[in-house]
Amino acid sequence: MKKVALVGNPNVGKSVIFSHLTGIYVTVSNYPGTTVEIARGVGVIDGEKVEVIDTPGINSLIPSSEDEKATLDILEAEHPDLVVQVADAKNMLRTLLLTLQLKKMGFPILLDLNMIDEADQRLIEIDSQKLEKIIHTTTIKTTASEGMGITDLKKAIKKNIMCPVEYKLNKLNEKKHFQKEAAHICRDVQKVPKRKILFLERLGDFTTRPLTGIPFAFVVLWLLYQFVGVYAAQDGVGFMEEIVFGKFINPLAIKLADFFIPTPIIKEFFVGQYGVITMALSYAIAIILPILSAFFLFFAVLEDSGYLPRLSILLNKSFRKIGLSGKAVIPMVLGFGCDTMATMTVRTLETERERIIATFLLALAIPCSAQLGVILGMMSSLSAAAVLLWIGIISFIFSVAGYFSSKIIPGRSSDFILEIPPIRIPRFKNIFVKTFARIKWYLFEAVPLFIIGTAALFFLDKLYILNFIENLASPIVVSFLGLPAKAAEAFLIGFFRRDYGAAGLYALNRQGLLNHNQIVVSLITITLFVPCVAQFLVMIKERGWKAALLIVAFIFPFAFLIGGIVNFALNYFRIIL
C-alpha cells in the first residue's frame, strides 16, 4: 500500500484533511499543537487504497521541541511515497520556508494551500500556477473545513503516487533557513493589498488587551459556571437522577432483578447499595454524564474559537513565577477538560523542567471536567464565600506548589514564543462531532473503571473489609477532616477516578449527610486527591516511573493534610460557611 504523510505548520488543518482522506475523526481545534500523537488511517483516494499519516505541526525541519522532533523522526522512519504539505494560504512565507526545507531534504511533495477562504477574506491573491512552475511542485487550493477542493486534492495525490520516485534523504544545514529564497518567491506569487481590519480580528484584540481581556475572561468563567454548574449540574442531573434513574431505570432494574435473579447476593451486585446499576451506572450516567456533556460542549466552542492561546498572553507573567511560561497555559486549561489528555499535551513544552512542573500541577491542582462538574454541582448549594474559599485555596496551592517546584526542580525555562491563531467562528458540525467523540471516549474509558470500583466496594462490603477500612480511616476522615465515616468510601473509589470520588461525595451531600463546612473540606481534599488511573499511566509513559511515583507519593498525603488544615482553621475560628 502506498503511504502519504501530511505535514505542515501548526494549526493549518492537517487533521481536517486527514479526516477527509480517511473518514476517521481525529480531534480538530483552533490552536497550535492539538495533534500530539501521530494518527494513521487507510483511505480510498480516487479508487486507490492509501495509508495516510497525520503528524503534529512543525515550523521547521530543524526541530526545536519534542513534538517537532516526533514529526521529523516519523518522516525519516516511514519514508512515505508522498508528503502532502498542508499550508495556511494566508501565510505564504512560513509555508514556503517549510516547502523549501522539505524539498531540500529530498521528499517528493505536493503542496496544499488550505484555508483559501481566510486568504480571500484578507484579499490575498495567490498565483498557484506560477508557484507550481517556480517550485516544481503540484499545488492545490482547498478550504478543508467546508470540503472545498478536496476532490482536486485527492486526484492530485493519486497522480503523484502512481509512479513513486525513489529518493534518499539529505541532512539539512542548521544555519540555512531559506529565508531569502522564500521571501523572493512570495513576492513573485502573492499579492497582499492593504485592507480593513476584520470584525473577528477586532474581537481577538478585545480578548487580549488587559483592560478588556481580563473582564472578558471572568465573563467566560461565569458563563461556564452558569452552563455547567447551574444548568447541567442542577437541572440536567436532577432530571437524570430523579426521573430517568429514580423513576424508571432503577425501579425497572430492581424489578427485573427480583424476577430473574433469585440469589440475593448476585441481585445486590447489580441493584444493591453498591450495585453496578444503582451505583456505578447511576453515578456515571445520571450525575457525571449530563455535567460532562455540557462541559465538553462549552469547551469545544472555546477550543474552536481560538480563545485559549489568548489566555497565554494574559497569564504569561504569572506563569513565569511558577517556572512555566505562557505556553503552559494551554495544557493547564486543557486539564480542566481531561487531565489525562492534558498530560500528553505537556509534550509541547520545550524543557524537561517545564514538563515535570506542568505534569505535577495537572496531577495536583487541576480538576478535570467530570470532577469539576460534580464539584460545581455541589457548590451550587453553597454561599459565595464558600465557593470563593474553595477557589482561593486551590489557586493558592497551585501557585505555592508551582513556585516551590520551580525552585527545586533543576533545569532551565524556555522562551515564550507562541503563535496566536485567528479567532474563528466555531462550526456546529465540528463542535458536535468533537463533543460526541469525547462523550463516547468517556463512556468507554471511564465507565468500566466505575464498574470495577463499585465491584471492589461491593466485595469489600460483603467481606466486612469496608467497615474495617472505614474504621481504620476514621481517625483521618472523621477526626482530622471532620467528615462522616462514609466519606472514606468516596476517597476509596477516588483512587480509580477523582470524579468518581467526587460523585460519591455528591451522593452523600444529596442524602443530606454533609454540612457546608464539610462540603468545602471534602471538595478541597478530593480536588487535590491522586490522579485517576488513566492519568497515572500517561504520567508514567511520558515522564517515567520515578517522576510519576514521586508525584503521587507527594500528592496523596498532601491532599489530606490540606483538607485537615482547612477543617482545623474553620473550627478554630468558629467559621460556619
Partner 1 sequence: MSDHDIDEILEIIWMHNEKGENDLCVVQDEIKNGRLHDALAEMETNGLVKLVDGKVSFTPDGEKQASNLLRRHRLAERLLIDVLDTKKDELESTACEFEHILSEEVTDAICTLLGHPKFCPHGLAIPPGNCCKQAQKLIESVITGLDNIDIGQWVTVAYILAHQHPRLHKLMSFGIAPGVKIKVHQKSPSYVIQVAETQIALEEDIVKDIFVRR
Residue closer to partner 1, measured from CB, 100 or 374: 100
Q: Give me the phi and psi of 91, to 5 degrees please.
A: -120, 70
Query: Rounded distance, CA 284 to CA 293, Å?
Result: 12
**Residue 426, C-alpha cell as written in the block:** 466555531
- Min CB(68)–partner 1 separation in Å: 9
The reply to whether 326 sits near partner 1 by the rule CB under 8 A is: yes
Strand, coil or helix: what is 501? Answer: helix
Q: Which three cell numbers stand for residue 342?
A: 492534558
Within 292-311, the residues that bind partner 1 by CB under 8 A are 309
Residues 92-111 that bind partner 1 (CB under 8 A): 92-94, 97
Q: Which stretch binds partner 1 (CB under 8 A): 57-65, 75-83, 137-145, 545-553?
A: 57-65
**Could you give the CA distance from residue 348 to residue 329 in angstroms, rounded to a whole number?**
11
Nearest distance from C-beta of residue 336 to partner 1, angstroms: 21
| 204/563 with CB nearer partner 1 | 204
Which of 25, 60, 244, 441 touches partner 1 (CB under 8 A)?
A: 60
Out of 82, 105, 346, 418, name the contact with partner 1 by CB under 8 A: 418
Distance, CA of 538 to CA of 556 (rounded, Å): 18
- Whichever of 64 and 399 has its CB closer to partner 1, that residue is 64
Q: Which is nearer to partner 1, 3 or 122 (CB)?
A: 122
Task: Give yes or no for residue 88 binding partner 1 (CB under 8 A).
Answer: yes
* Interface characters, 477-496, with partner 1 (x: CB under 8 A): --------------------
Cell of 487: 466519606
b/e map of 513-539 (b: 16 or more CB within 10 Å)?
Answer: ebebbbbbbbbbbbbbbbbbbbbbebb
Considering only residues 347 to 406 of the shown chain, the ones binding partner 1 according to CB under 8 A are none
With CB under 8 A as the rule, give the number of residues binding partner 1: 40
> How far is it, in rounded angstroms, from Cα 324 to Cα 416?
9
**Pick from 44, 123, 417, 553: which binds partner 1 (CB under 8 A)?**
417
Please state the closest distance from residue 190 (CB atom) to partner 1, in A: 10
Region binding partner 1 by CB under 8 A among candidate stretches 58-66, 103-111, 144-152, 486-494: 58-66
Q: Which is nearer to partner 1, 94 or 103 (CB)?
A: 94
Residue 466 makes CB contacts below 8 A (sequence gap 6+) with: 457, 460, 489
Least spacing, CB of residue 350 vs partner 1, in Å: 8
Taking CB under 8 A as the criterion, the residue among 136, 168, 171, 180 binding partner 1 is 180
Residues whose CB falls within 8 Å of the CB of residue 409, separated by 6 or more in sequence, listed in order? 323, 353, 356, 357
Q: Which of 129, 163, 415, 429 binds partner 1 (CB under 8 A)?
A: 415
List C-alpha distances in Å: 568 to 397, 483, 489, 502.
Answer: 17, 12, 22, 22
Interface with partner 1 (CB under 8 A), residue from 24, 64, 424, 565: 64
Distance separating alpha carbons of residues 438 and 428, to the nearest angstrom: 15
> 206 CB contacts (<8 Å, ≥6 apart)?
212, 213, 216
Choosing from 153, 233, 313, 366, the residue that interacts with partner 1 (CB under 8 A) is: 313
Residue whose CB is less far from partner 1, 315 or 334: 315
Cβ closest to partner 1, residue 309 vs residue 563: 309
Of 64 and 515, nearer to partner 1 (C-beta) is 64
- Chain centroid offset of residue 445 CA: 15
Q: Which three cell numbers stand for residue 323?
A: 517556572
Interatomic CA distance for residues 519 and 261, integer angstroms: 38
Least Å distance, CB 148 to partner 1, is 19
Candidates 74, 192, 451, 478; binder of partner 1 (CB under 8 A) is 192
Other beta carbons less than 10 A from residue 469's beta carbon: 17
Sign, CA dihedral 332-334-337-340, equals negative
Torsions phi, psi of 344, nearest 5?
-70, -40
Check: CB of residue 497 under 8 Å from CB of residue 469: no
C-alpha–C-alpha distance, residues 298 and 246, integer Å: 28
The span from the CA of 23 to the CA of 54, in Å, is 13
Question: What is the spatial distance between Cα 98 and Cα 423, in angstroms, rounded to a whole number?
Answer: 24
Q: Which of 19, 91, 207, 348 binds partner 1 (CB under 8 A)?
A: 91
CA distance 224 to 13: 27
> In the complex with partner 1, which residue's Cβ is closer, 209 or 247?
209
Instruction: Name the residue among 478, 117, 458, 434 with its Cα closest to residue 301.
Output: 434
Span interacting with partner 1, options 14-22, 91-99, 283-291, 553-561, rule CB under 8 A: 91-99
Write down the least CB distance from residue 305 to partner 1, Å.
15
* Stretch in the footprint of partner 1 (CB under 8 A) among 69-77, 105-113, 278-286, 411-419: 411-419
- From the CB of 174, what's the least distance to partner 1, in Å? 8
- Contact status: 474 vs partner 1 (CB under 8 A): no
Binding string, residues 110-139; x marks residues near partner 1 by CB under 8 A: --------x---x-x---------------
Nearer to partner 1, 348 or 535 (CB): 348
* Closest separation in Å from C-beta 162 to partner 1: 33
Instruction: Provide the residue count of the chain.
Output: 577
SS3 track for 107-128: CCEEEEEECHHHHHHCCCEECH
Q: Whole-number minimum distance, CB 7 to partner 1, in Å?
A: 14
Backbone torsions φ then ψ of 141, nearest 5 degrees: -105, 135
Q: Smallest distance from the beta carbon of 210 to partner 1, in angstroms?
A: 5
**Of 128 and 208, which has the nearer Cβ to partner 1?**
208
Binding site for partner 1 (CB under 8 A): 59-60, 62, 64, 88, 90-94, 97, 118, 122, 124, 174, 177, 179-180, 183, 192, 204-205, 208-210, 309, 312-314, 316-317, 325-326, 415-420, 422
